[in-house]
Chains A and B, each alone.
Chain A
Amino acid sequence: MTPKKRRRLAFAAAVLAAGAVLAVGIVYELGQNTQYFRSPADIAANRIEPGIAFRLGGLVQEKSLRHGSGADVSFAVTDGKDVVPVEYNGVLPALFREGQGVVALGTLNGSGKFVATEVLAKHDEKYMPPEVVDALKRSGHWKEGGT
């Protein structure tokens, strides 16, 4: 083997090894940081362990919004079938309305309440988060052109 060939082989081996490390790292981190989307009906059907982060989506239930003394708020998310109570300490997005679509990121606590770290509402009146549309369709509460 000439020195040039040996060098090429060493380089190819190094690139392969680095690629393998990268691939393993990416797959591992994907597994660690994937947040699933769950509707209230999903939560009622399958217990989700407290402390696991996921995204909860549906409609904000009418007349469920309560303000605490500080910046804390509570509301309920429904897909027409089941309801999940949500607690949040922060500023609600400008387009947050009762009866409209919402997606919240957070975890369930021991008593079945969803503690949100982030709340996203739709961007405009025409827009509905696609996951929420999907969840409403599955629960049979989707009205074409409605909401």
Chain B
Amino acid sequence: MTGELGQLALCFALALSLVMAAAGLTGARADAATARGIAHGATMGMLVFIALAFGALTYAFVTSDFSIADVANNSHTLKPLIYKISGVWGNHEGSMLLWVLVLSLYAGLVSTLGRGGPQLTSGALGVQGLLAAAFILFILFTSNPFLRLDPAPFEGAGLNPLLQDPGLAIHPPMLYAGYVGLSASFSYAAAALIVGEEGWARAARPFMLIAWIALTCGIALGSWWAYYELGWGGFWFWDPVENASLMPWLVATALLHSALATERTGAFRTWTLLLAIAGFSMSLIGTFLVRSGVLSSVHAFASDPTRGFFIMILIFCAIGGALGLFAWRAPTLKGGAAFETVSRETALLLNNVFLVAACAAVFVGTLYPLLLDAINGEKISVGPPYYAATFAPIFFALLLLVPFGPVLGWRRGDLKASLRALAPALGIAAVAVVAVLAVASPRFLTGVCAFAVAGWLIGASILGFLKRKGARASAFAAALAHAGLGVTLMGVAGTTLWRSEALTVLAPGQTMVVGPYTLRFDGVTQEQGPNYRASRAHIALMDGAKVQSMLTPEQRIYPAEGQDTANTAIRTTGFEDLYLALGDDRGNGRWTLRAYVSPLAPFIWLGGLVMAFGGMLSLWGRLRVGARVPSAAVQPAE
């Protein structure tokens, strides 16, 4: 019954999304007020039906209704409730339904909160409707989560144990909120091209911010999960699936900055439109990479070629259509406003140049293997050294320039005064260098440079906080986000340069040394979890002859899924992680144990959190200003 209900709700949602597209695009004309009303109504209707379909699927997962193929293939009665729920999006079909749910949520937000003129909002809803219709069709024809199994099995096949983890339960919704959130900027940009309205950047800003915050958190969560779950001690592997989330983030960050200039002084008008289109295009390409089965990865569920083909056509239409519209309409719009060479606009321009270049480097590295495979069947992979040689220096140069943006004036800046204002930050950078040289060994030139830049970024942010008493929230938001970059940079430098590693086979009672720590192996016990069996190692962290604390890394076997996972044990001081992963059973009570000491590892994700907080502060400032001055036409005076 639930299955049929969900299926029916999806069909209704498809009909309403088509109404939304037709009425919304008609409503972009000045004299079509009725159509605009219909578009808003259809948006809410679609949201309700998609939510109903999603609710039906969730209900089927929670009640373990194995007559539905998707549930039978991806769930199990013994699974804890939270993983029954997260199992809804832990598979291809359900995750596409989540994709559409997030898309309709953003459409609902545009309809209720979207500022901008009525024609602009209506046009944006129309474009969202087109996107929703295309993806609902994709679900119904290639990835229907409500297909029945007859006869229904007694037990489900379970969920990939790697995904049975609290971090991964919230990672996909967070990432989708970011990915799909860029659709709102995309729709606004397309609508602005159709209507010819210039105020779109202001109207779309809250949605850009929400998407960026969610994307930042989603990427940080994913990287944290990879760190503690995979047992390799790394936080970023330049896996194509990770790159698929990084590329939209880079473009979204560029968009946030360029839209700021467009909104304030009217600079980069057409460029900002192009970036909004590019941002969502990167999301679509990311969806294609992850969902089409062209990649071999934990995330790649689909192996049905029709899905890849369908998504490819969809991407082609969306990106091609938007770029066509851009080529046709952009020349009719007013060009960007002028600015002096020394100005905040120039700083933002450089920001965009570097971010787009960094994105291009990742894009080529990610797609080149697929291209080569398609051309001559040659299987290759592009390793981390490629990214270290291309992405890293571009991003490093960008970080060097970051502090200049906030201190330069709009239109015409004063370089000398800005340098004087930033001088104390140079002092903080010098302190960071001295601290690294005093504390760290061995001493790496890259490490010293990284800490100098981190000190420079954080120092400039502190100055921003001190000097701007009575300034708007946006100034504090920028300072916070930029400081977050510095914090993450320290974490990345600390873990990649100064990590120590030990790999030993230990018999009970034997000790090993890693970095400053001495560890004693006290043997392995067998434990029983709700849906797994675990071999749990007992490792004593020694302080002389005393036991300071116990760590218990595990190997888990999930019988239902026929899979094993390594569960690491991490002891953190906030400044340093001691990281243990249990390896193979070597007989006679001997086990392989891998240990890492990662200095500053927690800073990587802490920095991400600080960046996200910066975004939230900016959003809060926006909504507060918006509540005070309801008309979007009023110019805020930063």
Chain A interfacial positions (CB closer than 8 Å to B): 4, 7, 15, 18, 22, 25-26, 29-30, 32-37, 53, 55, 67, 69-71, 89-92, 94-95, 105, 123-125, 127, 129-131, 134
Query: In the assembled complex, how far is the CB of residue A71 from the closest CB belonging to chain B, in whole angstroms?
Result: 5
Q: Which residues of A contact B365 (CB under 8 A)?
A: 26, 30
Query: In the assembled complex, how far is the CB of residue A96 from the closest CB belonging to chain B, in whole angstroms?
Result: 9
Given A91-B503, A91-B594 in contact, is the A30-B382 Cβ separation under 8 Å?
yes
Of all chain A residues, which has the CB nearest B390?
A29
A30, A69, A91, A127: the one within 8 Å of B584 (CB) = A91
Interface class of chain A by DSSP: mixed
B389, B505, B565: the one within 8 Å of A32 (CB) = B389
B338, B505, B581: the one within 8 Å of A4 (CB) = B338
Given A94-B555, A95-B564, A124-B160 in contact, is the A33-B503 Cβ separation under 8 Å?
no
Is the beta-carbon distance between B563 and A95 smaller than 8 angstroms?
A: yes
Is the beta-carbon distance between B390 and A25 smaller than 8 angstroms?
A: yes
B627 within 8 Å of A by Cβ? no
Chain B 580-599 interface 0/1 with A at a Cβ cutoff of 8 Å (1 = within): 01011010000010100000
Given A70-B505, A90-B503, A124-B563 in contact, is the A26-B581 Cβ separation under 8 Å?
no
Is the beta-carbon distance between A36 and B378 smaller than 8 angstroms?
A: yes
Query: In the assembled complex, how far is the CB of residue B225 from the closest CB belonging to chain A, in whole angstroms?
Result: 14
Q: How many residues of B contact A (CB 8 A)?
A: 41
Is the beta-carbon distance between A34 and B160 smaller than 8 angstroms?
A: no
Q: Which residues of A contact B379 (CB under 8 A)?
A: 36-37, 55, 131, 134
Query: In the assembled complex, how far is the CB of residue B510 from the closest CB belonging to chain A, in whole angstroms?
Result: 13
B357 within 8 Å of A by Cβ? yes
B383 within 8 Å of A by Cβ? yes
Q: Which residues of A contact B565 (CB under 8 A)?
A: 94
Of all chain B residues, which has the CB nearest A124?
B563
Is the beta-carbon distance between A29 and B386 smaller than 8 angstroms?
A: yes
Listed by A's residue number, 22 A-B pairs whose Cβ atoms lie within 8 Å are A4-B338, A7-B341, A22-B361, A26-B361, A30-B364, A30-B365, A30-B368, A33-B383, A33-B389, A34-B381, A36-B380, A70-B504, A71-B592, A91-B594, A92-B584, A94-B565, A94-B566, A95-B564, A123-B298, A125-B563, A127-B296, A130-B296
Is the beta-carbon distance between A124 and B594 smaller than 8 angstroms?
A: no
Query: In the assembled complex, how far is the CB of residue B480 from the closest CB belonging to chain A, in whole angstroms?
Result: 30
Given A7-B341, A35-B381, A36-B380 in contact, is the A26-B561 Cβ separation under 8 Å?
no
Of all chain B residues, which has the CB nearest A34?
B380
Query: In the assembled complex, how far is the CB of residue B477 from the closest CB belonging to chain A, in whole angstroms?
Result: 29
